[in-house]
């Protein structure tokens, strides 16, 4: 039976900056250390990790509000939801503010759950943190 991966990650960057990193091909590529193409139009093509992951940008989740930026994507048979929360606060380090990213990766096959769960940390969140440290 398919499983769901839910992760909540806080970065030392405002949520607007996190959203821009995810939605801009150049920034996204730099943040993950591999080529990414992110369409700016709904149903436009997206890919990451040099084309390993491919899909389409979906319309934003119905009922989204001003406190969140939502981006939906479909990659193969899996659904991804990226929710960038606008509730951020100033940090003691430079006052850039913190942004929280809530990620839900649904419809994960049982045999891929462990690898994908760890893969998000290894191939996205850790590289993002390193990238953010270089652009401060």
CB burial string 114-127: b at 16+ within 10 A, e below:
eeeeeeeeebbeeb
pLDDT score of 28: 93
- Rounded to two decimals, what is the model's pTM? 0.76
43 vs 97, higher pLDDT: 43
Measured distance CA(123)–CA(103) in Å, rounded: 14
Contact 107, 116 (CB under 8 A): no
Measured distance CA(94)–CA(64) in Å, rounded: 30
Domains of the chain: 3-135 (3.30.530.20)
Share of the chain above pLDDT 70, in %: 70
Q: Looking at the predicted structure, is the pLDDT value of residue 86 above 50?
A: no
């Amino acid at each position: 039976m398919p499983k769901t991966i839910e992760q909540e990650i806080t970065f030392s960057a405002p949520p607007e900056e996190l959203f821009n990193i995810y939605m801009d091909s150049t920034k996204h590529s730099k943040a993950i250390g591999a080529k990414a193409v992110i369409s700016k139009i709904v149903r436009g093509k997206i890919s990451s990790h040099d084309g390993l992951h491919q899909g389409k940008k979906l319309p934003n989740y119905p009922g989204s509000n001003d406190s969140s930026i939502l981006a939906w994507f479909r990659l193969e048979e899996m659904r991804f939801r990226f929710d960038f929360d606008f509730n951020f606060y100033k940090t003691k380090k430079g006052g850039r503010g913190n942004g929280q990213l809530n990620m839900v990766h649904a419809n994960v096959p049982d045999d891929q759950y462990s690898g994908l769960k760890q893969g998000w940390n290894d191939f996205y969140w850790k590289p993002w943190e390193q990238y953010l440290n270089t652009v401060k």
